[in-house]
Amino acid sequence: MKIGLEIHFQLKGNKLFCSCSTEGTESGSAFQRKLTPVMGEMGMVDSAVKYENIRNREFLYRVSSNSCLVEKDEEPPHPVNTEALNTAIAISEALNCKILDYASFMRKIVIDGSNTSGFQRTGIIGMDGYIQTSGGPVRISTITLEEDACRKISEKHGRAEYSLDRLGIPLIEISTEPDIADPEHALETAKAIGHFVMSMNNFRGEVDSIRQDVNFSMGFGRVEIKGVSKLSFIKDTLDYEIKRQESLKEISDLFHGKPPEIGDFIDITDIFNNTGSSMIKKAITSGKSVMCARLPGCNHLMKYGNYRLGRELADVAKNMGIGGLMHSDEFPAYGLTGEELSQIYSAARKMDEDAVIVVIADRDSTESLSPLLKERMNKIIKLDLAETRAATTNGETRYLRPLAGKERMYPETDIPLIRITEDILENIKSMVPKSLDEIKKDLIKKYKLSSVEAESIINNNLLSLFMSLSDGFKNPSLLSRILLQVMPEFEKKRGTKLTQEEIRDILGVSISGGNIYRRDDGIKSIIGIARSRGWDRNTLELALSLYILNAIPVSELEKRPELVPLNEAEIRGIINELSEEGQLNEKNLIVMFRKKTDHSFDPRLVMRIFTEMKKSDKL
């Protein structure tokens, strides 16, 4: 088993090849493009590019407030973002890489719609580095600086929609050699690499600012799994891929490595003239045809136990804009009758050991699909599993396209070579991030945080935010608690994650041009009120909840009756009511007490009074 990582980190500030901000919203206007393949520097068309061309899609681009003619590919790229380049050099230094004498940007041909130009600009900054892990050093093959792709919004009926707000954001990609031993080691390595980038002041740090691609091989070819959205998903995704390939190995063994010949598609639309299946009836009314094909020897391999051959073929159909495919291992389903199934099997000339697939599509789509299915089956049975797959949100993977190769690269002629001089290397020395252990020690020493707090701030991508806000708080431990406990609790109640910009706004802090501005609103003001009124921690957190979740202005918080802490007499009264209503004990006391009142209270005081009342037999 071999595992490697490609981790992408967004940088904030300006985009890589223009002065547009990395932050923006859709503006309402849009334009449409269709992309066609071109040859790379080697004079050949890449296989992944050919596959995307077969899909024959159109692309709609939603213009954003942070895009210009560069994003539309109607103007040449501007000079490279110097801050982003220096950051990439600093990260390369931190990961023990050899810095190239020149940064040379290349064009990587991509016609899946994610770039308006049909290519992505990328330049290698560092090579041949390493990072220490518990499993030994993991080699870093390259560190590149590239422009991020468009953000995909939706796809249906052969047209994909993208937003330009993400296109051109500086992206640092860190690629490892296949030195990672297992899924747990992959997770550890990703965290260790991520620390260095997340320590930088210009790390973007928003929800979608980090994306992991995982390269994996069990000896059947390299699989590139794209878009693992969370570190915690790396292990789940690899576990799934291991089981998938083990299952395909068993299927291959059943056929002794000799692929079955998938039959040609047969039009069986007439079978469903009087069908009771609403899905099929609706499709036929819209002008589509029902087609079937025989898969010799594939009975009980399409969806049976660990076998999921049907899913492998369905992914190809979905990529072609066909909703998917149905197969005999899941029949009867979709409202099909026994008579209809009998006619389907008869038309396909199904034997007991065979499977049958059914697709609903127009004839042109089916003609394009047929050779792709045959090619996919051939590769699976021969265990040629090298391909690009997409990670799903539930920890699985699905087929995306053939594995891209060097044929998709050619030089970028609009960007001159950038010489990385000794002066540049000297100037970025102060930017080189410290190691994980050094940062942790600094947090503990300078801010008097516990070891657990320091680790949590680092592991939750909060280091740059904490560092930028710490000067505004006399008690860094309070800021740590707000970031690590209070804010996540509010996010859970709100149902959405807070962006770092929202957190700064809540905290009453603005950052502009690298300078910190403390305003007279936000949490800073609430803390001042808490001090003057002698609020305990629970009252303060209730005030924060009213401010964040209920949008109560700071000026009105002092007037809120629920922020007046309960006195001892009121606490005794509520405890008596709870006792009369049912079983009350030390374990459920605070939970039941919270349900009984909206007012602030000190849990320790409630527990003390409860204990006293119990001892004096007043309960």
Four-CA torsion 295, 297, 302, 307, nearest 10 degrees: -150
pLDDT, tens digit (0-9, with 9 covering 90-100), for 288-318: 999 999 999 999 999 988 899 999 999 999 9
pLDDT, tens digit (0-9, with 9 covering 90-100), for 51-91: 898 888 999 999 999 999 999 999 999 999 999 999 999 99
Distance CA 342, CA 352 (A): 13
- Most confident range, picked from 24-33, 137-146, 333-342, 482-491: 137-146
10 Å CB burial of residue 276 (0-12, 13-18, 19+) is exposed
**φ, ψ for residue 300, nearest 5 deg:** 70, 15
409-411 and 326-327: which strand pairing? unpaired
User: Of 564, 464, 417, 419, whose CA–CA distance to 196 is shortest?
Assistant: 464
Terminal-residue alpha carbon distance, the chain: 64
- What integer pLDDT is reported at residue 96 of this predicted model? 96
The answer, yes or no, to whether residue 123 has pLDDT greater than 80, is: yes
pLDDT classification of 33: cutoffs 50, 70, 90: very high
Residue carrying the six token digits 């539930």: 394
Non-local (6+) Cβ contacts of 443 within 8 A are 449, 453, 454, 457, 458, 466
Q: In the chain, count H helices and then E strands.
A: 21, 23
Higher pLDDT, 504 or 476: 476
Q: 191-195: long-range contacts (C-beta < 8 A, 24 or more apart)?
A: 191/231, 191/459, 192/131, 192/132, 192/133, 192/436, 193/5, 193/7, 193/95, 193/131, 193/140, 194/7, 194/9, 194/231, 194/461, 195/433, 195/436, 195/439, 195/458
Distance CA 281, CA 287 (A): 10
Distance CA 447, CA 201 (A): 18
Please name the amino acid found at residue 103.
A
Q: What is the DSSP letter of 526?
A: H
Distance CA 106, CA 147 (A): 11
Full-model pTM: 0.76
Beta strands per DSSP E along 54-118: 58-64, 98-99, 102-103, 105-109
Please name the amino acid found at residue 462.
L
Beta strands per DSSP E along 371-508: 387-391, 397-401, 409-411, 418-419
Contact between 292 and 280 under an 8 Å Cβ cutoff? The reply is: no
Contact between 331 and 343 under an 8 Å Cβ cutoff? The reply is: no
User: Of 304, 293, 312, 307, whose CA–CA distance to 384 is shortest?
Assistant: 312
- Most confident range, picked from 184-188, 516-520, 615-619: 184-188
- Percentage, residues of the chain above pLDDT 70: 95
CATH T-level topology, domain 266-382: Gyrase A; domain 2 (3.30.1360)
Domain extents in the chain: 2-236+403-411, 266-382, 434-563, 568-615
User: Of 435, 528, 427, whose CA–CA distance to 475 is shortest?
Assistant: 528
Alpha helices in 255-308 (DSSP H): 278-285
- The token pair at 417 is 């070579």
